[in-house]
Chain A
């Protein structure tokens, strides 16, 4: 028996690995190790270097993403027997994650340095989490999806509780972890049922086997549990309850990371599973996603109306936005490419405008030391530029042209009304009405900043460190350029891709 195993393992040959296609992940990994060593050797002397180094790492990883992108014809590159695929879709999303990671580093550097937290570890864990997200974009296999999900989640649990002497932060971390682990359990259960039903872990093969008519209650349960598992990650109602508390308690830069990076990764996982494995099962998935999307946007918006804390408001607004992002999945059946395009486009623009909003919140909190919406009063008087930036982000979130958020919503509308189908159109009307409701609370913040007096009459200007200026600049440029030119839609056109493995 033992001898047999040994002889077999001798014959093991290393599978071919396409190093170029795998390069972005490897860069992050190697650079992370390098930064750790720098930290170990330099100790206190290099403390201020860790943040810029981490940021440079994210930018370095962009290089292979761009070289891969420039090889358009060579894509998709399939690795590990179909478990890992690099194509336009995954490259766009890798870019989003890397740039978001970079902006998060910009947001964190002053916050971490001034708060006397553990610097180096924070950035190591952040890199690890971003690495998980990069893996997620290419994961086309249940196992690699799960590995990616855990790789991106576990560091985030720790990071949420980073302000360790603050009870709220502890609560944030603990809640996030318990709910996350619970969701992972449900997800694993769903995946095991799927594996049992479809006899493979690769999404493409699962898709084929399911289309061959393997439709049993077991598979149905597997599909539903998988979606619910991701539902926690994207904070879909009714699996959203962790989000507001975690967002409020976690360090604000990390909240931005959760609201953008982690949520986007959840959507990527959801898209991978739905588009590559359940493409042939719309009758099973669509009604479920319809209810989830309608409930998420409506309940998220209604609760957001009542919030007085800025970060909690953004948390609920993020839940509502998740509802809009999910909406195309309720009608994806005969328009895979369009649905995928609408979601990816939304994610790109959402990342820019939401990170921008968080950047302004972080900047404002440096002066006001408060998270209340009322503390934004009078900002137009003493910080007109910042007010203008926040206004752009808020109107973008509300979906008003000429900001990027308008096109994000526009493409959702486009997919929903396609073919004038009954359910799609009803959901479109849901989105329309919800957009108006949402405008109220976004405008409420704008109202505070523009129309109200400063709460304590304090009109001293805000000192904004250069890193935060850069973060606002990057996000506002993306938000406005996509909005005014409508450029993005061109390069998120995956119509030809939806059917690919």
Chain B
């Protein structure tokens, strides 16, 4: 068993969904239930392999890449099929393995118009493989391929199954991301040449950048290319405009996957690639990243306050929450980066669940316009309570998961890595702290207007409005439990991430001396 996990475990986990996809291709479209079963089964298989991997993971050595596989792939450029799991990627892989099967369960009776469960589920499976692959890749070329593969299914998901303005949202999402990744690719290649190492291996490149002594200026330029690629994906403040459109127009399942996992590809890229490989570049960029992050926090909050659509409001809240994550990363301290990774997972669970609920509200009321909603607690009390708990988690209430992403990130900016201007980051800290008040404001306001009060006349006697159904329970309860558990026992994640993050943090401690 162990030898299987060591040599094939990750590969099996990543590509199991594609096996399911191949089987589904052979089955005619009308057998919808069969398609759903196969899709679910293949993600569950992937999840079981994942759980086995996590059980055998050596948590004492979480800074090391484990279950590593390193095979030659494209010899001419020495790009390798090199994968592994360490403490940074483990929580995100776990998140992906959890969320995607839940999305498929939710799809059981929620296939959005215009139908065609087969194609819809096949796209989800491609997404699954792409996301897992991005989190396990240790080779820049492999990483890039997976990073891009994710684009295609999401484009079609928004474009075919999306809302009214889906065409615009789909193309905007696609072109924005492609623009960033084109520059990222140029950066990767420049790194390959500048280090003269003839390798795309992340760890080796980090060492070569030190030993070859890339100048701070070169590092800053290269970091700029990566910043475009990852920053657009996060999305950071001036590049965020694709997000509200994509989220609002995407079908519920698409929004959940986007919020829960896709946005993390960007932040993960910063932690995994940009920071360790280009420390001096990161140091030069950090104040600006911090600035954009706090602008994002405040801007996202004001954006939320101005929204009249529930889904769009949640989308803007993502901009604000990812701002906290980026602020944590910008401090370049182990404390801040730990918080950032926790924030990614927490945001994935919380915002994913919010989108689920929003999708179900839309299904019942056929609208998400906040002023037409109201009295959810009367008409569908269980769903109302779930919405309540999730908004509380989202605004960072202690005892729920959201708190441990935001609070330490704010705290970390009191004392950023040496070499960074303390005063600047303390100003950021104050602004970010003010952002939490705004967050409480818009989230509670949302809850008040949709869940409290009495139903509007329009929907008061609508027989279609019913409480949570079975598939919804199955999809939501695991996320709810995790939000509570992580809120009380944050060490579940911090213990895993701390060792690898400390290694990164030490680099910046040393650099600033």
- Chain A interface SS verdict (over half): helix
Q: Mark B150-189, 1 if CB is under 8 A from A, else 0.
A: 0110011001100000110011001100110011011001
Residues of B within 8 A of A341 (CB): 76
Residues of A within 8 A of B77 (CB): 414, 489
Q: Are A443 and B179 in contact (CB under 8 A)?
A: no
- Cβ of A406 under 8 Å from chain B: yes
Residues of A within 8 A of B76 (CB): 341, 489-490, 493
How far does the alpha carbon of A400 sit from the alpha carbon of B155 in the complex, in Å?
13
Q: Are B186 and A401 in contact (CB under 8 A)?
A: no
Choice from B175, B193, B194, B218 contacting A440 with Cβ under 8 Å: B175
Residues of A within 8 A of B183 (CB): 429, 432
A380-B160 contact given A436-B175, A443-B155, CB 8 Å threshold = yes
Interface-side segment among B1-9, B33-41, B141-149, B304-312: B141-149
- Cβ of B190 under 8 Å from chain A: yes
Q: Mark A156-189, 1 if CB is under 8 A from B, else 0.
A: 0000000000000000000000000000000000
Residues of B within 8 A of A406 (CB): 145, 148
Q: Are B145 and A402 in contact (CB under 8 A)?
A: yes
Residues of A within 8 A of B159 (CB): 447, 450-451
Residues of B within 8 A of A384 (CB): 119
Q: Are A420 and B182 in contact (CB under 8 A)?
A: no
- Cβ of A428 under 8 Å from chain B: yes
Q: Are B148 and A418 in contact (CB under 8 A)?
A: no
B131-146, CB < 8 A from A: 141, 144-145
- Cβ of B411 under 8 Å from chain A: no
Q: How far is the CB of A405 from chain B (nearest CB, A)?
A: 12
- Cβ of B445 under 8 Å from chain A: no
- Cβ of B75 under 8 Å from chain A: yes
The chain B residue with its CB closest to the CB of A437 is B175
Residues of A within 8 A of B73 (CB): 486
Q: How far is the CB of B90 from chain A (nearest CB, A)?
A: 25
Choice from B79, B141, B174 contacting A443 with Cβ under 8 Å: B174
Q: Are A447 and B152 in contact (CB under 8 A)?
A: no
The chain A residue with its CB closest to the CB of B171 is A443
In this complex, how many residues of chain A approach chain B with their Cβ under 8 Å: the count is 33
- Cβ of B22 under 8 Å from chain A: no
Choice from B149, B160, B167 contacting A402 with Cβ under 8 Å: B149
How far does the alpha carbon of A417 sit from the alpha carbon of B77 in the complex, in Å?
13
Q: Are B74 and A420 in contact (CB under 8 A)?
A: no
Please report the number of residue pairs spanning A and B whose Cβ atoms sit closer than 8 angstroms: 86
Q: How far is the CB of A62 from chain B (nearest CB, A)?
A: 25
Q: Mark A392-418, 1 if CB is under 8 A from B, else 0.
A: 000100001110001100100110011
Q: Are B144 and A401 in contact (CB under 8 A)?
A: yes
A419-B193 contact given A435-B182, A440-B171, CB 8 Å threshold = yes
Q: Are B185 and A410 in contact (CB under 8 A)?
A: yes
A400-B151 contact given A384-B119, A429-B186, A439-B175, CB 8 Å threshold = yes
How far does the alpha carbon of A48 sit from the alpha carbon of B413 in the complex, in Å?
78
Q: How far is the CB of B5 from chain A (nearest CB, A)?
A: 24
- Cβ of A214 under 8 Å from chain B: no
How far does the alpha carbon of A428 sit from the alpha carbon of B221 in the complex, in Å?
15
- Cβ of A303 under 8 Å from chain B: no
Residues of A within 8 A of B189 (CB): 413-414, 417, 428
How far does the alpha carbon of A493 sit from the alpha carbon of B75 in the complex, in Å?
10
Q: Are B167 and A417 in contact (CB under 8 A)?
A: no
- Cβ of A425 under 8 Å from chain B: yes
How far does the alpha carbon of A407 sit from the alpha carbon of B141 in the complex, in Å?
10
How far does the alpha carbon of A425 sit from the alpha carbon of B187 in the complex, in Å?
10
A436-B179 contact given A402-B149, A486-B74, CB 8 Å threshold = yes
The chain A residue with its CB closest to the CB of B79 is A486
Residues of B within 8 A of A436 (CB): 175, 178-179, 182
Residues of B within 8 A of A486 (CB): 73-74, 79
The chain A residue with its CB closest to the CB of B196 is A419
The chain B residue with its CB closest to the CB of A483 is B145
Q: Are B167 and A451 in contact (CB under 8 A)?
A: yes
- Cβ of A33 under 8 Å from chain B: no
Q: How far is the CB of B17 from chain A (nearest CB, A)?
A: 14
The chain B residue with its CB closest to the CB of A444 is B171
- Cβ of A66 under 8 Å from chain B: no
How far does the alpha carbon of A417 sit from the alpha carbon of B144 in the complex, in Å?
17
Interface centre among A413, A429, A451, A489 (most CB of B within 10 A): A451
How far does the alpha carbon of A380 sit from the alpha carbon of B122 in the complex, in Å?
15
Residues of B in contact with A (beta carbons under 8 Å apart):
73-77, 79, 119, 141, 144-145, 148-149, 151-152, 155-156, 159-160, 166-167, 170-171, 174-175, 178-179, 182-183, 185-186, 189-190, 192-194, 218
Q: List 18 A–B pairs whose Cβ atoms lie within 8 Å, in order of A's numbering.
A: A395-B152, A400-B152, A401-B148, A402-B145, A407-B74, A410-B141, A414-B189, A417-B186, A417-B190, A420-B193, A420-B194, A428-B189, A429-B183, A432-B183, A432-B185, A433-B182, A435-B178, A440-B171
Closest 4 CB pairs of A and B: A432-B182, A486-B74, A401-B145, A489-B76
Assuming A414-B189, A436-B178, A443-B175, what are 10 further A-B pairs, CB within 8 angstroms? A406-B145, A417-B186, A420-B190, A420-B194, A425-B190, A435-B178, A447-B171, A451-B160, A486-B79, A489-B77
